[in-house]
Amino acid sequence: MRNGLLARAGMRIADACERFFPDAFVFALAAIVLVFLGGLAIGVPAPKLASEFGGGFWSLVNFTMQMALVIIGGFVVASSPPVARLTARLAAVPKSGRGAVAFVAAFAMLSSLLSWGLSLIFTGLLVREITRRFDASHRRVDYRAIGAAAYLGLGSVWALGLSSSAALLQATKSSIPASLLPITGVIPLTQTIFLWQNAVTAIVLISVSVIVAYVSAPRDEDARTAQSLGVVFEPVADDAPELRTPGDRAENNPILSVVIALLMFWYLGQQFVEKGGLAALDLNNFNFAFLAAGLLLHWRPRSFLRAVAKSVPATAGVLIQFPFYGGIFGMISKTPIAQRLAELFLLVSSRTTFPLFVALYSALLGMFVPSGGGKWVIEAPYVMAAANAFHLHLGWTVQIYNAAEALPNLINPFWMLPLMGILGVKARDLAGYSILQLLFHVPLVLLLCWLFAETLPYLAPVTQ
């Protein structure tokens, strides 16, 4: 039996990507150059651009730490012994190579609606376990296809769920830059990720992605396995500790972990009572909950700390690149660039076509600034100003951004970094099948963003 058209296309694109993909940092540096040249083109003095670049460089320090903790919290929970046992049970479900790819795709997207950090780490560990089981039973699954399937949460629907950086930022007054607050106001999650239009968008994208993942996976005899790619797995879980000294016993005593975890959950309960359920779901409480769960699931302080240590390398891209995004934000928001871009949106679009322009622009900018939250603070000042001028629903404008900003993730390797570390691959190994998904996602996202924009009334900024 021959491979189908999609399977042949996926293999060819994957082969090409192995040769031509650069590092994500290259895209960030290119974005700085483009913004700087764009500022010069509209008459902004070079010293002014340089000053605002440097002034904005540290403006996202708080948000950078929040994003790093999303990755750390996801890894800590996903690598805990109870979740590791769950991973082993889930890995026994798929029986065929194509079934395994489709199963991983569905799991990655559904889990990303809860936490993109958890989705990347948990699904990556799931792929490792499935691959190990297949190798042990002499079955074959294409490692590139199943690895790309594990990335689909970040490449499709993560920003439509509870870990949407833009939606959580807009729901958290303290996280909204002071210059942005009067334009957008505080937008509760009920007006972004909990809109029924958002739920339908997520369901459609998940369904189509699973089908494409299944059909595009190569047949077993053509599959490139982990072994053929030279991938050797190192154990994630720690061995049982040796308790030689009083210090060892203290580090492995669960009492302090349990007490502190319960204290943290107590605080979260107070937050939900005081603010109301959805209003309490901001970035700080989100990360707080995952760290509390990690303490409880790892049980022993030493196990928790080792999991944190293993997760830190995956945050390197966030820690070094977010300050550069802050510099871009400074050049745009503190110069006439933001106003000119807002005027451009008003000039080239109408109330009807504005959602399409926002989606296309957000996807294009995401090639250079691959960060849902970091890119939002760059884009929001002029996009939301234009949305106000057109009297469009501000919450759905955020969701248009969320749906579209995931598209470049299927090309830009930045958010593949944590997954690549777990799977032992390079971005070029995963990009072929991701790009194939992109060909289906682009028309769907544009259609749904435009269609649902007409179903919602204007939502004016509220700063309280």
d(CA 15, CA 11): 6
From residue 332, give the alpha-carbon distance in Å to each of 32, 133, 345, 372, 374: 10, 50, 15, 17, 13
Average pLDDT over residues 334-357: 81
The DSSP bridge partners found for residue 393 are: 459
Q: What is the pLDDT of residue 239?
A: 56
Mean pLDDT estimate for the chain = 82
Lowest mean pLDDT among 160-169, 201-210, 237-246: 237-246
Q: String of b and e for 65-94 (b: at least 16 CB within 10 Å)?
A: bbbbbbbbbbbbbbbbeebbeebeebbeeb
Q: What is the spatial distance between Cα 407 and Cα 289, in angstroms, rounded to a whole number?
A: 28
Which pLDDT belongs to residue 210? 96
Q: pLDDT, tens digit, for every residue of 127-144?
A: 988 998 888 888 888 898
Q: Which residues contact 426 (CB under 8 A, 6 or more apart)?
A: 18, 21, 420
CA distance 150 to 133: 17
| N residues, the chain | 464
For position 235, what pLDDT does the model report? 56
Residues 256-259: contacts with CB under 8 Å, at least 24 apart = 256/301, 257/295, 257/296, 257/298, 257/299, 257/300, 257/301, 257/304, 258/295, 258/296, 258/299
Residue 426 burial (10 A CB sphere; 0-12, 13-18, 19+): middle
Cβ burial of 358 (10 Å; 0-12, 13-18, 19+) is: buried
Strand, coil or helix: what is 459? strand
Position with higher pLDDT, 407 vs 228: 407
The lowest-confidence range among 76-85, 242-251, 349-358 is 242-251
Which tokens sit at 144?
């590139």
pLDDT higher at 240 or 157: 157
pLDDT at 414: 66
Supply the pLDDT for residue 1. Answer: 46
Among 52-61, 227-236, 266-275, 336-345, where is mean pLDDT lowest? 227-236
- For residue 129, the 8-state DSSP code is H
Calculate ∠ Cα 357-361-366, nearest 5°. 155
Distance CA 386, CA 394 (A): 10
End-to-end CA distance of the chain: 63
Give the tokens for residue 17. 């990507």
Report whether pLDDT(17) > 70. no
Is pLDDT of 152 > 90? yes
Choose among 104, 98, 184: nearest CA to 141. Answer: 98
CA 83 to the chain's CA centroid: 21
* 446 vs 16, residue with greater confidence: 446
For residue 16, what are its two tokens? 């090409």
- The residue-averaged pLDDT of 35-44 equals 89
Residues 223, 226, 228, 231, Cα dihedral to 10°: 160
Query: Does pLDDT of 357 surpass 70?
Result: yes
Among the listed ranges 20-24, 222-226, 383-387, 393-397, which one has the minimum average pLDDT value? 20-24
In the chain, the percentage of residues whose pLDDT exceeds 70 is: 85
Out of 53-62, 116-125, 196-205, 216-225, the most confident range is 196-205
